[in-house]
Amino acid sequence: MASYTTVSDADSQISQPDALTYWESVPATVNSMLGGYPQISHIDIRGSLNFVKKLCHLHSSSATNQFTRGVDCGAGIGRITAGLLSKVCDIVDVVEPVEKFAKEVHEASLAGKGKIGEVYVTGLQDWEPKEEYDLIWNQWCLGHLTDTDLVKYLRKCRGMVKEEGWIIVKENMSTDAEGKDVFDKVDSSVTRTDTKFREIFEKSGLVILKTELQSGFPKKLYPVRFYALRPGSDQ
């Protein structure tokens, strides 16, 4: 399907109503969350768990990979809460604009001992957090925010991440030959380049402490990159 277009301001084409219309129209399943590749979920979760372990080993004073409070941002049906965050956090809050997905989060069987806390049925651009977090997990949802909204949102994250906490971004990377972001009209989202993400993090006052590619996904999918972010000291 010729649904991809690359323009210099791909994000100007994002429509939140179109995105919500798309997500409301698909079933509340792992298959929908992963765009027809449900089999990659366990590879994804295992990669994320390893990434968190490495982070804690390298950068935390306690070196345990257990956090008090985490948040699953753009959580969908809570796939990541169920498989990852409930293992490494005592309490996991959830932010998801589509109500039928958010409802599923309570049904999800959690792999760990963590419990679900607040469920916010809202988009990240409108979310008003009430807590501070040790782990703010953003995966496969930031393409629904324009560049401007993404900077505002990440600045909000900057203010609500605890000292020694982490803002994690795990997103697809554009492989466009001209190095541009790619708009996908099916779900009204953009796939950004690594360069664009780095510019956005800088504008948001965040520094990258660790970044790596997820391994083991099918070659035909976009590369997926992790970024572990913390507030920069100078802003």
Which stretches of the chain bind ligand SAH, using CB under 6 A?
A: 16, 19, 23, 33, 74-76, 79-80, 96-98, 101, 123-125, 139-141, 144-145
CA distance 106 to 188: 27
Minimum Å distance from CB 146 to ligand SAH? 10
CA distance 180 to 57: 35
DSSP state at residue 217: S
For the beta sheet containing 182-184, the strands, ordered from the edge strand earlier in sequence to the opposite edge, are 4-6, 182-184, 189-191
Minimum Å distance from CB 214 to ligand SAH? 12
Smaller CB separation from ligand SAH, 103 or 230: 103
CA-angle at 180, arms to 175 and 181, nearest 5°: 85
Smaller CB separation from ligand SAH, 82 or 91: 82
Smaller CB separation from ligand SAH, 172 or 174: 172
Smaller CB separation from ligand SAH, 43 or 207: 43
Smaller CB separation from ligand SAH, 80 or 206: 80
Minimum Å distance from CB 96 to ligand SAH? 5
Minimum Å distance from CB 1 to ligand SAH? 19
Minimum Å distance from CB 62 to ligand SAH? 27
Burial of 125 (0-12, 13-18, 19+ CB in 10 A): middle
Smaller CB separation from ligand SAH, 177 or 184: 184
Task: List CB contacts of 206: < 8 A, sequence separation 6 or more.
Answer: 154, 157, 158, 167, 229, 230, 231, 232
Minimum Å distance from CB 175 to ligand SAH? 20
